Amino acid sequence: MARTIAAFQGEAGAFSEEAALALLGDVQTRGYRTFEDLVAAVDAGEVTYGFLPCENTITGSIARSYDLLFEHPRIKIVDETTRRIEQCAIGVPGARLDMLDRLFSHPVALEQCRRFFVQHAAIAAVAADDTAGAVRAIMEAGDARAGAIGGALAAQRYGAVILQRSIQDHDNNFTRFFVISSTMGPRRDLGRICLALHLPHEPGSLHKALGRFAKQNINLRALVARPRRGEPFEYTFYVELDAAAEADLTGPNIFVLGAY
């Protein structure tokens, strides 16, 4: 049997690669530059699974991920996993925290570590393209004064050292990922269904659609509303449901994105 390949967006050591390895164990991983590239590779069957972030506790639902699934009907959600985002101060081997004068990372990661920079006023925050790429870059430069902020896996991937763990301000920073595939069926039976509903932009249309789920005693886990591109008065609603496989969810304007 061919080896399982898990695709993620970002450079080696990204948080989404951490999520893939935590769920699947010691599989081969492959990073893609953009979410579009990642989804295209899953659609073409070049990889077994893709890890697509769908929700973050701070920023909310990631509507673009649902859109991408809807645009690729061959791809289904086959599992899901939630990963805590733990930012670490990372340096080159031999470095110590008190040697650092700058830390490179993605602006969002720098922002998540504001308190750390207040407490370490001698360390400047410097923007980089992404967290794992910043770790790679400091290792290439090999300067003990230059560190990076990223995940523990990024330190491991590039042979860097973790100088301090969990330097983020908030501990409730979790990202939920859909595990997607065009070649494999559901990995587990979690009793979850994700649907796209096309609804006219008129009073009561969502109420009517949800009535069907309410009648079957199906719980709503998540809901994302998206205007349809080029059709300004029509909406796509993405709903995630706790539903047994025998639930009646089919219909002319209902598209199943995953049942797992």
Q: Which of 73, 64, 4 has the alpha carbon at shortest distance from 34? A: 64
Residue 196 near a copy of itself by CB under 8 A? no
61-80 footprint of a copy of itself as x/- string (CB under 8 A):
xxxx----------------
Contact with a copy of itself (CB under 8 A): which of 44, 127, 190, 244?
Answer: 127
Residue 38 near a copy of itself by CB under 8 A? no
What residues have CB less than 8 Å from 87, skipping those under 6 apart?
105, 109, 112, 113, 131, 149, 150, 151, 166, 167, 168
Please check whether residue 140 is in contact with residue 117, taking contact to mean a CB–CB distance below 8 angstroms.
no
Strand pairing category for 88-91 and 161-164: antiparallel
CB of 193 to a copy of itself, least distance (A): 14
| Complex with a copy of itself: residue 22 or 214, whichever CB lies closer | 214
3-state secondary structure of 184: coil
| Complex with a copy of itself: residue 174 or 189, whichever CB lies closer | 174
CA distance 111 to 101: 17
Residue 106 near a copy of itself by CB under 8 A? yes
Residue 232 near a copy of itself by CB under 8 A? no
CB of 77 to a copy of itself, least distance (A): 18
Residue 40 near a copy of itself by CB under 8 A? no
DSSP H or E stretch at residue 133: helix 131-141
Strand pairing category for 174-181 and 76-84: antiparallel
Contact positions vs a copy of itself (CB under 8 A): 34, 57-64, 106-107, 110-111, 114, 125, 127-130, 172, 201-208, 210-211, 213-214, 216-220, 222-227, 229, 237
